Structure 1
Amino acid sequence: MARPVNRSSFVALTSTGAHVFVWLYYAATATLALWSIGDSTQPWLVVLVLALFAGAVLALTLDRGDRLSLPVAVGVSAVAAASIYPLSWQLVPGGYTAWYVGAATALLFMVNLRGRIAVGWAGCAAMVTALILWGVTTPIGLADAITISARQSAIVGVATLTALALQRTGGRIRELTAEASVRSADEAAGIAVAEERARRLADLRSSAVPLLQRIAGGGPITDEDRGAFAVAEADLRDSLRARGLRVPEIMDAAREARRRGVDVVLLDDSGGDLAGVDLPGFVALVTEALTSATDGRVTARLLPPGRPVFGTVVADGSVYSKREALRD
């Protein structure tokens, strides 16, 4: 069976390489934050936000699902939006650096890319609200705040378009995989049918064709010929009614028993459900009964599924015996 394809494995979003890349980005962000920590009037807030970012990145890398789990998506988006508040209003005038805005956007980018588009945009809306509020309450101004917000929203938009494209691509790959699996199953079934047909034709050629040629030859039909015809007819009947018992040991023993005048009845009512049964042991029972019978009738039957007994062998002649085969 073909292995399922998901969009995360398709672009390796949950691979070790992707995790290394995310942590390298965090390391670069932390380096920039610590390098510019002098631009903050409350340095401890920088450390706090870096710790929150580290927790968010850890959650992203530990979540191995195709689609980011909802709690992780909500938590990461909340960290991204909340990081704007403690840092924006305590920057040293003239020393502004927006490293945390880019880092927050990167978190929202990953949330979108991992399939949580609605949650990612909710986080983006909360982040933009914080940036606008910051702009109108500080010398930064509304225009610059809108410009910053537009840039970050555009990045999140790219993630959304990429995620949608990956969803369509992943869906198409799954469709192609399913179609290939169906084709493979159909081909395997066709081969099995062809092999079964060839086997049956070979049986017919070996058992029935010589007899038909004997009839077509126009010569006298002897009692021996009639016996051979009866055995061949019984073989054909067995091929239809006792497919589960059509094994060389049983078929050979059945032919010999019929030649001795024993009435042999083989039946398969199992529907092909032979799981958990000792079929070789049952074959041995049937073969033994057929070999030892000298008159009367021998009936071997595979029973329908769902019963404790899966097969019976009854010899009803000068000596009567009944054997049952139990399921494991």
Structure 2
Amino acid sequence: MISLPRHLLVGLAAAFSAFHVVLGVYTIRMPESAVPAVVAMALYAAATVLSLAPWPTLRLPIGVAAGNIGVTAVGLILVLSQLDAAEENGYATWIIGAVGTLMTITAVRQRPWFAWAGIGVMIVAVLVWTGDPLELPALGAIGGPVWVGVAHATTLTIVRASRDARLLELAEQRAAEWQAQEEAEFFERRLRLGQMDSEVAPMLRRIVTADGELTADERRECLHLEAAMRDEIRGRRLLDDRVRNAVRDARRRGVEVTLLDDGGIDDLDRTAHSRVTGVIAREIGGTTADRVVVRTAHDDDEVAVTIVGLRDADPALTAEGLEEEPELDLWLEVPRQGDAV
């Protein structure tokens, strides 16, 4: 695809616009009074500069586009009112071509309906001035609509092509995301199967060998293995080898441990993640609570992980019908940044 630098296109538009001003200066003695023509040149030059200015977007501000129509009407009145339509005026009717150029710029800056309105004002003004529609081609009033039509069609084509390109880009991004998700799920499945093979398979073989007759310790170990597999699914980034060992030892001591990763620490770097999991392993390893819940906070929170430990009510009191709420034994918020807690 061939593309032209923006400054080159702006330079060409400025050169065409300046050419009309040069024609106006060249024929400055033909009107009855030069003052209206000079005012029209100044207005036209100002409108052109504003239309070619580097606005934040390609789309021309609506105030500038509406102002171009006003400059068109005023410029035509100022210039044509000083000329005799019955005589040969030559390039003294430069304002007609200038309006066509200005409206073409307006159309390219994605204000086509303002451009067509300006062309309509020009045609009406020329018809009122000459009184003969057949004079329009001779005065150059046909070139403006043609250029505006070309600019309008080209702009529509470019806008549609840009929109299609954006849609294609979005489709490619979604396809890449889908592929990444599929690969991640495939990797996750392989990881889970590998863990099951290394951790659970020996116990499964033991169950088969014992024909399902397990000791009480073996049954408890099965429950611990099942909880460990559940941790791998729900705990995700809350886990590393230190946390796994601490959780396993805590469960063997009779502590009920729950790990819940809701994605709040996915953006932590390796150092911060190691700091957070180190705190989790330390607190779980030294807890005296009966139940421990570790959960991630929101990703926009200053806290990365909350650790809560609860101590169950005294069984003797519960047996006597005196119900008590669990006692808070541990409450710790691990910050996302900073030194270890």
TM, length-normalised to structure 1: 0.79
**2:281 maps to which residue?**
287
Identify the match of residue 248 of structure 1 among 241, 244, 258: 241
Deviations 1:127-173 (A, max 9, x none): 1111101112xxxx442136643343222222222222233223222
Alignment correspondent of 2:70: 78
Letter in 2 for 1:185: E
Paired residue for 2:161?
169
Letter of the structure 1 residue corresponding to residue 232 of structure 2: S
Identify the match of residue 234 of structure 1 among 227, 239, 242.
227
**Partners of 2:17 and 2:146 in 1: CA distance:** 21
Cα distance between partner residues in 2 of 1:68 and 1:174 = 22
Given that residues 245 and 266 in structure 1 are in contact (C-alpha distance below 8 angstroms), is that contact kept between their aligned partners in structure 2? Answer: no
CA distance in 2, matches of 1:31, 1:296: 91
* Amino acid in structure 2 at the alignment position of 1:286: I
Tell whether the 8 Å contact from 1:282 to 1:311 is kept in structure 2 after alignment.
no
Percent identity between matched residues is 22
Q: Which runs of 5+ in 1 are unaligned?
A: 1-9
Alpha-carbon distance in 1 for matches of 2:180, 2:169: 16
Q: Work out the CA distance in 1 between the residues paired with 2:222 and 2:109.
A: 72
Is residue 2:148 matched to residue 1:156?
A: yes
- Partner Cα separation in structure 1 for residue 20 and residue 27 of structure 2: 11
What is the rounded CA distance, in whole Å, between the counterparts of 2:216 and 2:153 in structure 1?
Answer: 85
Alignment of 1:244-283 (within 5 A): 244-259=237-252, 261-268=253-260, 271-274=262-265, 282-283=276-277
CA spacing shift, 1:181–1:34, aligned 2, 3 Å: same
Equivalence for 1:54: 45
Q: Which amino acid aligns with 1:197?
A: R
- The equivalent residue for 1:30 is 21
Partner of 1:312: 307
1:186 paired residue number: 178
Native 8 Å contact 1:113 1:159 kept in 2: yes
Partner SS, residue 39 of structure 1 = coil
Q: Do the aligned partners of 1:290 and 1:298 also contact (CA within 8 Å) in 2? A: no
In the alignment, which residue of structure 1 is the partner of 2:322? none
Query: d(CA) in 1 for partners of 2:161 and 2:107?
Result: 16
Partner of 1:4: none
SS in 2 for 1:112: helix
Name the CA distance, whole Å, in 2 between partners of 1:110 and 1:239.
63
The correspondence of residues 81-120 of structure 1 with structure 2, limited to 5 A, is: 81-91=73-83, 93-97=87-91, 98-120=93-115
Provide, for residues 207-256 of structure 1, a one-character-per-residue CA deviation record: whole Å limited to 9, x for no partner. 11232233344588566655543332220122344345333321121123
Q: Shift in Å at residue 124 of structure 1?
A: 1.1
d(CA) in 1 for partners of 2:36 and 2:230? 88
Matching residue's letter, 1:49? A
Measured on the aligned residues, the alpha-carbon RMSD in Å equals: 3.6
- Greater shift after overlay, 297-306 or 193-202? 297-306
Question: Are 2:116 and 1:125 equivalent residues in the alignment?
Answer: no
Q: Distance in 2 between matches of 1:11 and 1:127?
A: 33
> Unmatched 5+ residue regions in structure 2?
313-327, 337-341
CA distance in structure 1 between the aligned counterparts of 2:302 and 2:104, rounded to whole angstroms: 60
Query: RCO (CA 8 Å, sep 6+): is it higher in 1 or 2?
Result: 1
Residues 96 and 141 of structure 2 are in contact (CA less than 8 Å); yes or no, is this contact kept in structure 1?
no
The answer to whether the 8 Å contact 1:39/1:96 transfers is no
From 330, 335, 340, give the equivalent of 1:322.
Answer: 330
Moved more, 16-25 or 295-304: 295-304
Q: Which of the numbers 175, 188, 205 marks the counterpart of 2:197?
A: 205
Aligned to 2:88, what secondary structure does the other structure show?
A: coil
Counterparts of 2:154 and 2:181 in 1: how far apart (Å)? 40
Distance in 2 (CA, whole Å) between partners of 1:193 and 1:158 is 52
Alpha carbons 2:276, 2:334 under 8 Å: kept: no
**How many Å apart are 1:50 and its aligned residue?**
1.9
Q: Is the 8 A contact 2:263 2:296 kept in 1?
A: no
How much has 1:108 moved relative to structure 2? Answer: 0.8
Letter in 1 for 2:222: F
Shift of residue 105 of structure 1? 0.4
CA distance in 1 between counterparts of 2:15 and 2:302 reads 63
Q: 1:307 to 1:76 in 2, by over 3 A?
A: closer
What whole-Å deviation, never above 9, does each CA across 1:175-212 have from its counterpart, x for those lacking one? 22222222222223223323332332232222112322
Aligned length: 311
SS of 2:263's equivalent in the other structure is coil
Indicate the larger mover: 173-182 or 280-289.
280-289
Cα deviation for residue 266 of structure 1 reads 1.5
| One-letter amino acid of the counterpart of residue 173, structure 1 | A
Q: Measure how far apart 1:18 and its partner are.
A: 2.5
Instruction: Write the letter of the residue equivalent to 1:108.
Output: M
